[in-house]
Structure 1
Amino acid sequence: MSARANILQRLRAAPQATSPLPPDVPAFHAACHAGLAAGTRAARIALFCEKMAFWHGEVVRVTRANWPQTLRELCVTKGVRSLLHGEPHTAALRAAGIGGLKPYDRPVDAWKKELFEDTDASLTSTRGGIAETGTLIIWPDVDEPRLMSLVPPIHFALLDADQLYDDLFGAMREQRWSSGMPTNALLVSGPSKTADIQVTLAYGAHGPKELVVLMLVNEEELK
């Protein structure tokens, strides 16, 4: 008998083990957080800002009324001449008088050179944020394709503080991710970065060099 046949015979003769039970993820997280006080909105905001700063990201607190004007001021300060945006924000950006608006309204093949070489910044929506890691949740769609957050040197992201979660599991549970996810979901912590074999981080190597989060908060939370 060959060695191969011998091995296969032994495998077939081995007792069949029972299938392992699937992990109870909710129970695991409940046990990890047992005895801990529930996170507050103020604590989530503070922790998210702290973690985002650690990853070299910038958080600017704004309100629903003034965020377009704040974005205009940031564009002027950072020398942004062209701002890529999706249809959901067109009216607000035009009303704020932001120059160089560039709607994402064509297939990428129709303007690839302009998109990659002549676009200073972009503005995207977010689905929420994770306080524990300082992470944005972005679900690209037809109005705001994935390239919007990956190509321009500066990425402005609009985040509603009402959609800040303590951790990733909390976001997945509260937003019911299991009921349907996009073909591509992004978790973004700071600007683009990479590392060499010595784990030396370099920022902006393969994507945005800057990430500015416009966090929508209440008036009393601006400071």
Structure 2
Amino acid sequence: MSAREKILASLRQSLEGTQPLADPFDASLVDKPWRYCPAERVTRLKELMTAVHSEVHLTRSAEWPQLLHELLTQRQINRLLTAPSTTHGQAFSAYCQIQDSSLKLLAYDRPIEEWKRELFDDVPASFTGTLAGIAATGTLVVQPSPAEPRLMSLVPPLHIALLKASQIYDNLYQAQQAWPRPMPSNLLLISGPSKTADIEQVLAYGAHGPKDLIVLLVEDA
């Protein structure tokens, strides 16, 4: 018997005849103080995100592609990084084709080593979906995937995220109950654009991620 096996056997033997303690966790301690009626979730998330320099636009499923195109036009953005294999990526691509738009849609379809310079220097904006929203903190939950790698929401100066109102939860605890199982290896919690302050307390945006964040909040039931 190896040293490891002897240690484990000793531990198991020491537990013989004992009973595990009951789990003292009380979900109400982290859940009850942060509950809202469904009508308040959208309002609270919008207020909190707007307060930290984010843009939140209320829209509907039939209208958001046009709104997205208008926002890009207003900012004179002619290149957008999207995920063409996703439902929202396909919907926006179809809208651009119908409108005969000059907007160039880019895809994250290569290893980062093959287009790192282009991604960091020549991609002004990205468009991704979201997994959920959290009303208590005004937060987006983004799950990176092969279709929408993590760098899509971190590198371009402008990140545009699509969020369904039906996917807004009261608090982090409730959102966790709805997360995919097994637990994803990587989730991003985004409450606003990247910001930092130096020793003189001068706030600067875009230091470690997107300078601007736009949320398209789809209100369809």
Q: How far is the alpha carbon of 1:124 from its aligned partner?
A: 0.6
Q: How far is the alpha carbon of 1:27 from its aligned partner?
A: 4.3
Q: Show the counterpart of 2:129.
A: 125
Q: Where do residues 142-157 of structure 1 align in structure 2 (5 Å cutoff)?
A: 142-157=146-161
Q: Show the counterpart of 2:145.
A: 141
Q: Show the counterpart of 2:27.
A: 26
Q: What is the SS of the residue equivalent to 1:111? A: helix
Identity of aligned residues (%): 46
User: How far apart, CA to CA, are the structure 2 residues paired with 1:194 and 1:25?
Assistant: 35
- Return the match for 1:103 from 92, 104, 107: 107
- Return the match for 1:61 from 47, 58, 63: 58
- Return the match for 1:213 from 190, 206, 215: 215
User: How far apart, CA to CA, are the structure 2 residues paired with 1:209 and 1:23?
Assistant: 43
Structure 1 residues 172, 189: CA separation in 2 closer, same or farther (over 3 Å shift)? same
Structure 1 stretch displaced more, 87-96 or 129-138: 87-96
Q: Show the counterpart of 1:51.
A: 48
Q: How far is the alpha carbon of 1:218 from its aligned partner?
A: 3.0
Q: What is the SS of the residue equivalent to 2:183? A: coil
Q: How far is the alpha carbon of 1:201 from its aligned partner?
A: 2.9
Q: Which amino acid aligns with 1:152?
A: P
Q: Deviation per CA, 1:43-100: give whole Å up to 9, x if none.
A: 0000000000111111011111111111000100011111001121332122222511
Q: How far is the alpha carbon of 1:147 from its aligned partner?
A: 0.2
Is 1:166 the equivalent of 2:167? no
Q: Show the counterpart of 1:202.
A: 204
Is 1:80 the equivalent of 2:95? no
Q: TM-score by structure 1 length?
A: 0.80
User: How far apart, CA to CA, are the structure 2 residues paired with 1:199 and 1:131?
Assistant: 28
Q: Show the counterpart of 2:184.
A: 182
Structure 1 alignment gaps of length 5 or more? 1-18
Structure 2 alignment gaps of length 5 or more? 1-19
Structure 1 residues 42, 101: CA separation in 2 closer, same or farther (over 3 Å shift)? same
- Return the match for 1:40 from 34, 37, 42: 37
User: How far apart, CA to CA, are the structure 2 residues paired with 1:151 and 1:107?
Assistant: 15
Q: Deviation per CA, 1:190-215: give whole Å up to 9, x if none.
A: 10111234554321111111100000
CA contact (8 A) 2:143 2:187 kept: yes
Q: TM-score by structure 2 length?
A: 0.81
User: How far apart, CA to CA, are the structure 2 residues paired with 1:176 and 1:137?
Assistant: 10
Q: How far is the alpha carbon of 1:164 from its aligned partner?
A: 0.5
User: How far apart, CA to CA, are the structure 2 residues paired with 1:20 and 1:200?
Assistant: 50
Q: Which amino acid aligns with 1:131?
A: A
